[in-house]
Amino acid sequence: MLGGLAAIASFALIDAVIRHSVASRRTFVFVALTGSACVVMSGLPQAVFPGVGLRLFHTLQNSLGLFSGALALSYLGLWMGTAADDRVVRIAIRLGSAGMAVSGLVLGAITLLGQPDQWHSMLVVTASVSALAVLLPVLVAIRAIAMGDRTAWGVLGANGLLACAVAGLHAHALQIPGLGLPVWAATAACTVSFFMLSAFLVLRRDRLNRHLERLASLAQGDDAATGLPRGAVLLSKLDDAIWRGARNNRDCTVICLRLANLYELTELVGHHADKQILSAMSARLRRAIGFRHLVGLYHPQVFVVVMLTDKDSRLVEKAVQRLHYMMAKPLQLTGLDDAIHSFIPRMGVGVVRVTPENYSPATVLEQAEQRSLANPEP
């Protein structure tokens, strides 16, 4: 287990040094802290360094794992972005991470200042808090799946491995009798597998973000398709989103962004100008709105965003502000003669909240488009 964790931590450190990104640094901190907590719970430091005081060793056992759990839960909220859209998840992440951090401080202080006969009972309390903490990522993942984030299925798998690892490590620390080598081998395998799957999920999401960033910057010669649903497929997905919102008692809001000057540079750049613009704008739109909400193309000049949120209307307002900021930035288009032309998007935005009166997907889209026509930007 130590070898596997050391290898994963080494790769995370190299990635953080080479790329200098916030995501890579977060990954290294997560692997280093959580991996250290697993090693401490395994009892390896005590076996290798018997001169280390038992008080310090038990203090780390009762605090380090909870600190790493608090950090991991806050990172999970940032990585999935669900906390920005769902009040339940936002509260669970904030209270859960704060509760684990406070529990780590309290249990660590009691162990450090208390009597040796209290150490075992403190470890039982730590195991109970850790078991409750493992359930919080399950809640976050289930809510994210309900909001349409497919990568959350991987989080559920990783959390299952984490539950097995936490149970095995605490059983080893509590010296529960009757657990032999197969249990310890399974615990080590689950621990290493958890870190490998977590690293894979982080790299996958980070790679997708970088791909969208490249599309949004419109590298010279890039003419990728938008890949957004349109026509009957868009209506079908919108109908499904409206149904899920009604079923889960969530607000469904449709936002239309009409690109008024899509064909403005066709004569200068050529017939492929609109493809360059749509490619970059769709990537910017996805980066601004996130991975859980539906994004589509009503027709070439109108982008569609469908948001399922809680009853807080400020979430939609903040999303519209992000869209204004991201989508209004100038683009550099490449012409047929390799000349660079500047394109400044001009948009109109229409926002419609789904109600019983406009429950039909076609009606909602028509209303949102009409409002985008009536609210053009200068």
Determine the Cα–Cα distance for residues 144 and 290; give it in Å rounded to an integer: 12
Share above pLDDT 90 across residues of the chain, in percent, rounded to a whole number: 3
pLDDT at 224 > cutoff 80:
no
pLDDT-derived band of residue 372, with 50, 70 and 90 as boundaries? Answer: confident
pLDDT at 239 > cutoff 80:
yes
DSSP strand pairing (340-343 vs 294-299) = unpaired
Q: DSSP letter string over 290-356? A: -SSSEEEEEETTEEEEEEEE-S-THHHHHHHHHHHHHHTS-EEEE-TTS-EEEE---EEEEEEE--G
Determine the Cα–Cα distance for residues 130 and 10; give it in Å rounded to an integer: 26
The stretch 24-31 carries a mean pLDDT of 81
Residue environment code for 5-18, b if the CB has 16+ CB neighbours within 10 A, otherwise e = beebbeebbebbee
CB 345 within 8 A of CB 331: yes
Pick 268 or 160 by higher pLDDT: 160
- What per-residue confidence (pLDDT) applies to 255? 92
pLDDT at 38 > cutoff 60:
yes
Predicted model pTM: 0.58
- What per-residue confidence (pLDDT) applies to 216? 58
pLDDT at 223 > cutoff 50:
no
pLDDT-derived band of residue 254, with 50, 70 and 90 as boundaries? Answer: very high
- What per-residue confidence (pLDDT) applies to 20? 72
Query: Half-sphere exposure of residue 223, counting CA atoms within 13 Å on the CB side?
Result: 11
CB 361 within 8 A of CB 254: no
- What per-residue confidence (pLDDT) applies to 82? 58
Distance of CA 256 to CAs 237, 242, 292, 360, 375, Å? 15, 16, 17, 16, 11
Q: What is the pLDDT of residues 116-141, one digit of tens each?
A: 777 778 888 888 888 877 888 888 88
pLDDT at 288 > cutoff 50:
yes
Please give the mean pLDDT across all residues of the chain.
Answer: 80
Those residues whose C-beta lies under 8 Å from the C-beta of residue 350, and which sit 6 or more positions away, are 255, 256, 258, 367, 368, 369, 370, 371, 372, 373, 374, 375
Find the helix packing angle between 314-327 and 273-289, rounded to 10°: 150
CB 320 within 8 A of CB 265: no
The stretch 100-118 carries a mean pLDDT of 84
